[in-house]
Copies of this chain bind each other. A is one copy, B any other.
Amino acid sequence: MVKINKNYLKLPGSYLFSDIAKKVNAFTSNNPDKKIIRLGIGDVTLPLAPVVIDTLHKSVDEMGKQETFKGYAPDLGYEFLRNAIVENDFKARGVNIKADEVFISDGAKSDSGNIGDIFDVDNVIAVCDPVYPVYVDTNAMAGRTGDYDAATSKWTNVIYMPCLEENGFAPVIPEKTPDIIYLCFPNNPTGATISKDKLQEWVDYANKVGAVIIYDAAYEAYISEEDVAHSIYECEGAMTCAIEIRSFSKNAGFTGTRLGYTVVPKELKVDGVTLHSLWARRHGTKFNGAPYIIQAAGASIYTEEGKKQIKEMVGYYMNNAKIILEGLKDAGYSVSGGVNAPYIWLKTPTGMSSWQFFDHLLNEAHVVGTPGCGFGPSGEGYFRLTAFGSLENTKEAIERIKAM
């Protein structure tokens, strides 16, 4: 008699975005004349860059001709893409990652979920709170998180590292020692970063206690400040304790095009076994590569033209972020993020819960955002707005919020 993975039954319902949709639908049917502005989800809105479109057309043509048709891709991904990554994302920053330490994938969500496969069930994870929910949910599915306590909105066997206004939204090294530490900088949802020196402390700590850091750098392209590391490998010793996950979704608008990569340095060993060999085995057995045309498109963003074009896209969104950040400050809100990230994190006005502020914003300004409590218990009393809308909508949303 077949038995299911009972860990799935422990997961609380994932209703955040469906609850938001329900509330928005109800508002719209009661107020058909009101124009809603959505600054809620983390999805991009600008079209793909011209260089990406050109490359897609060219590589589609290759797939239509016998002589240039491509079947199964190499296990790690095409070398042309891995070389471009190494050259631009790492060598250019003085980091000596090798092309065969880079694994091309269909995106950072898959990688940050699947990476758990190579670790034992018996590991304790530490996460920033609030944070991207995929880290905790996928570990819960694997049976690594204990039980869910609805009263506290916490799992019994997860180390939560609260990131609050009082600590500058930066995690503090926890009392209990974790085995696996998830760090995401710039952070989703707070938009916070930590300095390179602070990141170095995490690397040193992980090496000292024998922990592995899963470093999610999906928002790296939004970093504008000098003392923030773009890659954890800019820190000394990170090669022996950190796995880094990258995405083409937010820098190049690939949310619907799907491409990412994960770096597993060969120096990273546990009991003499390289995590590289485990991930290579997982990658080769449970995945068959990202499409050739998408890998070609990904490589095009590393050309001179490509770099210029995606910088413009990021600049467009960061201009929105600035408008939101400064507008909310003017309006008297306590806000953070928005400088090195496309997310603005605001503290709800006195006494309001995240959901109360959601309703308030929807009813008074017809603007949709995301309640902070959806990202972890320490997100309660906070609210996320994103810079991925159009300039016009962003401006109008802020005018409306100011007038509330």
Residues of A within 8 A of B (CB): 1-6, 8-9, 11, 14, 41, 43-48, 50, 53, 56-57, 60-61, 63-66, 69-73, 106-107, 109-110, 113-114, 117-120, 122-123, 134, 137-138, 141, 179-180, 209-212, 253, 255-258, 270-271, 273, 275, 278, 281-282, 284-294
Residue in chain B with minimal CB distance to A279: B8
Given B64, B110, B270, which contacts A48 in the complex, CB threshold below 8 Å?
B64
Q: Judge whether B63 and A47 touch: CB under 8 Å.
A: yes
A13 to chain B, nearest CB (A): 10
Bound-state CA distance A356–B398 (Å) is 74
Given contacts A2-B270, A134-B285, 20 further A-B contacts (CB under 8 A): A2-B180, A2-B212, A3-B123, A4-B119, A4-B120, A4-B278, A8-B282, A43-B71, A46-B69, A47-B66, A48-B63, A48-B69, A57-B57, A69-B256, A71-B255, A73-B256, A110-B288, A138-B286, A141-B282, A293-B293
Set of chain B residues within 8 Å of A57, measured between Cβ atoms: 57, 60
Q: Judge whether B109 and A106 touch: CB under 8 Å.
A: no
29 sampled A-B residue pairs with Cβ under 8 A: A1-B211, A2-B123, A3-B270, A4-B120, A4-B271, A4-B275, A8-B118, A8-B281, A14-B281, A14-B285, A43-B71, A47-B64, A56-B60, A56-B293, A63-B257, A69-B253, A73-B256, A106-B106, A106-B258, A110-B287, A134-B286, A141-B285, A256-B289, A256-B292, A257-B293, A258-B289, A258-B290, A291-B294, A294-B294
Q: Judge whether B46 and A53 touch: CB under 8 Å.
A: no
- In the complex, the count of this chain's copies comes to 2
Set of chain B residues within 8 Å of A210, measured between Cβ atoms: 1-2
Residue in chain B with minimal CB distance to A7: B120
Set of chain B residues within 8 Å of A43, measured between Cβ atoms: 71-72
Set of chain B residues within 8 Å of A60, measured between Cβ atoms: 53, 56-57, 60
Set of chain B residues within 8 Å of A118, measured between Cβ atoms: 4-5, 8
Q: Judge whether B286 and A109 touch: CB under 8 Å.
A: yes
Set of chain B residues within 8 Å of A290, measured between Cβ atoms: 106, 258
Bound-state CA distance A123–B4 (Å) is 9
Q: Judge whether B46 and A66 touch: CB under 8 Å.
A: yes
Given B14, B41, B257, which contacts A292 in the complex, CB threshold below 8 Å?
B257
